Amino acid sequence: MFVRLVLHWAYNAVTTKTQFLKKAPYAGPFLWITSVQGNLGRCCMRKLRSHLTGIDQGEVVLFSDFEDDGQMWAGTGPREQRKAVVFSEAYQSIPSVTVGLSMCDIDGQTSVRTDIRPENITETGFEIVFRTWSDTRIARVRASWQSIGELEDEDSWQLY
C-alpha cells in the first residue's frame, strides 16, 4: 500500500479549481489536499479554510528487537508496536497524517508482512502503529511521518 498526497494552492479565482473557489465563503489563498491511497480505491479531499496551514514532520525509531530477541524478531503470529508522537504545535482541528517506513530490516528467510498506519489522531499528536503476523521476523523499523492541518490564527477569536 502506498499513500500519495497532492497539494494544490490557489489564490482567488486564478485556478483550475474555479468551482471550489466560487463555493468558498471568502476570497483568499486556499490549500486543498488530495490523499490517494493505492490499491484501496479510496480517495478523499480535505478543504482547509484557515490562512495558517501547518506542516509538521519527523522520523522515529519504532523498535530494534534483534539484539534482545524482542517480540518482532523472535515472536510469531500477530504482533504490534505503538509509538506516541507529539506535534511541535497544536493544530486547530484534527490534521491529516501520513506515515511510512524509512527503514525496515527484515529476515530474508521469511515473507515480508507489514502494516503501518497512524491511529488515535488528535490536535496534539497521534500513534504510529506497526503490525506484522505469521512467521515474519523484523529486526528494526524506523518510520517517517507528516501532518498537515489548520493552525490557530491569533486574529480568530470567539466571543462565547
| pLDDT digits 0-9 by tens, 51-96 | 789 999 999 999 999 889 999 999 999 999 999 999 999 999 999 9
Pick the CATH number of 52-151 from 1.20.1270.10, 2.60.40.2080, 1.10.3720.10, 3.10.110.10: 2.60.40.2080
Confidence of residue 120 (pLDDT cuts 50, 70, 90): very high
From the list 89, 81, 84, the residue with the least C-alpha distance to 115 is 81
Q: What is the DSSP letter of 96?
A: E
- Is 37 within 8 Å of 6 (Cβ atoms)? no
DSSP per position, 98-155 = EEEEEEEEE-TTS----EEEEES--SSEEEEEEEE-TT--EEEEEEEEEEEEEPPPTT
Q: What is the pLDDT of residue 44?
A: 67
Q: Which amino acid is at 19?
A: Q
The pTM score is: 0.70
Higher confidence at residue 4 or residue 133?
Answer: 133
Q: Measured between alpha carbons, how far is 24 from 6 in angstroms, rounded to an integer? A: 20
Sequence spans of domains, the chain? 1-49, 52-151
- Is 43 within 8 Å of 3 (Cβ atoms)? no
Helix (H) or strand (E) holding 64: strand 53-64
Q: Which amino acid is at 103?
A: M
Q: What is the pLDDT of residue 15?
A: 38
Helix (H) or strand (E) holding 73: helix 71-74
Q: What is the DSSP letter of 2?
A: -
Classified as helix, coil or strand, 95 is: coil
Residues 133-152 have a mean pLDDT of 94
pLDDT in tens, 5-58: 333 333 333 334 444 444 444 334 444 444 434 444 556 676 766 678 999 999
